[in-house]
Amino acid sequence: MLDNKGFDLWADGYDKSVGVSDKDETYPFAGYKHILNEIYNRILSHSGRAVLDIGFGTGTLTTKLYEQGCDIYGQDFSERMIELAQSKMPDAKLYHGDFSMGLADDLKKTRYDAIVATYSIHHLTDSQKVTFINSLLPLLKEDGCIYIGDVAFNTREDLEKCKARTDWWDTDEIYIVADEMKKAFPAMNFEQFSHCAGLLSLKRQGE
């Protein structure tokens, strides 16, 4: 599993490698742009503009939202990713920290219209994901929503089929299986966007 130094090294080539995998429709990033666009449109279609991005990377999604006037908050553990994202969003409140240890205290003081995590929380085990998502729900405003876009599948069988069709599979990453995650969050919605990418959404109202 990549640690913060691994992400530091990947940071400058990240956008390019994601773009190639997405364009070629290969695992792991097939469907990446589609999912980020969908999250972008859903956030902007609501009036509230406070957005927290967990593992924002180079800021591909949040920079677009920032340019539309959103107040961007975020946490990442790669110093190079933070540098790159901060240079594109000078007024964003970006914090350094490992989210497996929870959120930075300052980030817990705000209430958000949207909390997004794209291609980041597969670094947590499933039980850590449940604990982490439960810690995020109270940080949403009344109509707020959590969006998780990632390599994700409706069922374990779908995951296994995708794995069998893929030459290389990252065994360090723990991908979401929606029907298993729904046991902890019955109101969670799941949409499949490509053979390997899915979008989970969870409203505070659905708690």
Ligand X SMILES: C[S@@+](CC[C@H](N)C(=O)[O-])C[C@H]1O[C@@H](n2cnc3c(N)ncnc32)[C@H](O)[C@@H]1O
Binding residues for ligand X, per CB under 6 A? 7, 55-57, 60, 76-78, 81, 98-100, 118-120, 123
| b/e code 21-51 from CB counts within 10 Å (16+ = b) | bbeeebbbbbbbbebbebbbeebeeeebbbb
**C-beta closer to ligand X: residue 57 or 144:** 57
**Shortest CB 7 distance to ligand X, Å:** 3
**Shortest CB 4 distance to ligand X, Å:** 6
**C-beta closer to ligand X: residue 38 or 179:** 38
CB 152 within 8 A of CB 176: yes
**Shortest CB 183 distance to ligand X, Å:** 24
**C-beta closer to ligand X: residue 71 or 79:** 79
**Shortest CB 157 distance to ligand X, Å:** 25
**C-beta closer to ligand X: residue 48 or 149:** 149
Residue nearest to ligand X (CB): 57
Enumerate residues 6+ apart whose C-beta is below 8 A from 172.
1, 2
Using DSSP's 3-state secondary structure scheme, residue 56 falls into coil
CA gap 120, 168 in Å, rounded: 19
Using DSSP's 3-state secondary structure scheme, residue 1 falls into coil
**Shortest CB 156 distance to ligand X, Å:** 23
Strands (E), 50-111: 50-54, 71-76, 93-96
Nearest-CA neighbor of 119 among 39, 12, 205? 39
**C-beta closer to ligand X: residue 123 or 204:** 123
